[in-house]
Amino acid sequence: MSKPSAYSLSAHNSLKQLAEKNASTGLIKKFDSDSDRVNRYTFDLGAFSLDLSKTHIDSTLVQAYTQIAKDIDFGSNRSQFLNGFPINATENRPVLHTLLRQDEAAFGEKLDPKVAKQAVDSRAAFKAQIIQINNRISRSDHPITDLIHIGIGGSSLGTQLVYEALKPLNSSLRVHFVSNIDAHQLLEVLAICKAQSTLVFGISKTFTTAETLKNVTSVLQWMQGLGAANPMSRLYAVTANPEAAHQFGVNVDHVVSFPTWVGGRYSVWSSVSITAALMMGEQRFDEFLQGAASIDKHFAETNPENNIPFLSACLDHYYCNYSGAKSRAIFAYDHRLRSLVPYLQQLETESNGKDRQRNGEPVDQLTSPVVWGGVGTDVQHSVFQMLHQGTSLIPSEFILIVKPDHKLTDHHSTLLANGIAQTAALLVGQDADDIRAVEPETEGNDLVLKAKTFSGNRPSTTFLLEQLSPFSLGALLAFYEHRTYCFGQLVNINSFDQMGVELGKRLANDVASSLEVDGDQSAFDPSTQSIIARIKGN
């Protein structure tokens, strides 16, 4: 890797030399040379602990990135972020989703008072709307049993994650998520709902998102077809553009707004999560916000060398740019977190999958790795073969919940044992002697011994949450947000726009026009023209 322009030569060379050393030295040897390594690199953030000791973190890496933090003026940039400067330069907007989860006393001292008032008013209006809708849900004469949450990307992924993670097993209120324009998803939901006992929530920051509005329209038509009285009275809109919702026909008192400075993939803290909040109740949703605020405080007040989101981002950057890792895997050993990976895929790759620096020039280093993963123990029977013996370096993360919310403790002990065992196996691997010790019958079978040997030296991080609660989930998501921001700072990009998404939307409209019977596809490349022609031919 060539030296990024903003980095000091000494820090860059230090990381290059460290990568060369680590490539030829087993990760387990770091424990041999530092008897206090586990304590030194296990961090307690209150809501969860984070064990980085099985990664390549060491004093050399921390010192190099501490210098880089000075090189890129990280402290000043962080202050601008938290105080409402328009750090999203391409859209000339501040990025202030953190305000929605903080007490007013924690707001940045340089924050515009008008923005502070917007944050306070937004939270108050959201809470008032929750009370109003809950009163409607619980009416004995027309009880509501189902909520249909219609949104896509940031208007759905975070809310669905929170709902699945925190819903009680015996909840009488069901929430269904419709994100895809593919009607198969919508029809599955409608098949199990009754029009008379269903409310619909259309979630769109601009209230112009084509997929969302089409799905909302189809649900309203379904209700009308089943004889539901006044379907529009069952529709609520959550948006930063109330006027567009009014023009769509949504009742004024059914529009729940949020500020324009809340980005889509950072909107889980806002009224976008209205359906999850209705399930959780006001107190538990407040606890979710408080968990996030606890990480905000650590991020805002802690120097880079001890700042856990920053150090985690440094490891991401080191593996991507100095060790050749092109992806990072995340495994949640809890079924309730089955939507965590899709949420983090959007958060990280939409934020940092960029090829332009903040000044518009091409980047001079690698940006976002591919983020992927799944739920343990399922993934152990699919992708873990590649993790242990594949030819790609893939740093992995394991999220473990110490106490389950059920009484089948033998199940949970087995689940935890599997997750912990994988981190140990990735670290140490196994050689021929290890295999012979547990499988004496392999003695003399050279082919089998070689096939069952793997090197270890595969880095992993372990998160331990005492319990999956609103507070701990809020803290975990806020940690990943700040980590994403820090990585964007290290590679000098704007983590808060998404121009690639906008291009795809525009082209989709052009393709849709060309698919009409008399549509013209001549403006497209030959392959695209052929695909369109074949579809029209059927």
Catalytic residues: 350, 381, 505
Asked if residue 195 lies in contact with residue 222, where contact means CB atoms within 8 angstroms, the answer is yes
Amino acid at 222: W
Contacts of 486 (CB under 8 A, 6+ apart): 74, 307, 309, 310, 312, 313, 314
Amino acid at 129: Q
**254 to each of 52, 124, 132, 213, how far by Cα in Å?**
47, 15, 10, 16
DSSP labels, 371-383: EEEEETTGGGGTT
Closest by CA position to 121, among listed 238, 259, 254? 259
Within 106-216, strands assigned E span: 146-150, 174-178, 198-203
Quote the DSSP letter at residue 22.
H
Amino acid at 127: K
Report the alpha-carbon distance of residue 511 to residue 334 in Å, rounded. 41
The residue behind tokens 């001549």 is 522
Report the alpha-carbon distance of residue 134 to residue 43 in Å, rounded. 40
The CB density around residue 385, as the number of other CB atoms within 10 Å, is: 11
269 three-state secondary structure: helix
Beta strand 42-44 with 146-150 is unpaired
Amino acid at 443: E
Asked if residue 54 lies in contact with residue 428, where contact means CB atoms within 8 angstroms, the answer is no
Closest by CA position to 1, among listed 364, 505, 387, 338? 364
- The whole-angstrom distance between residue 10's C-alpha and the CA centroid of its chain comes to 34
Within 455-535, strands assigned E span: 460-467
Report the alpha-carbon distance of residue 237 to residue 512 in Å, rounded. 26
Quote the DSSP letter at residue 348.
I
Q: How many residues are listed for the chain in this entry?
A: 538
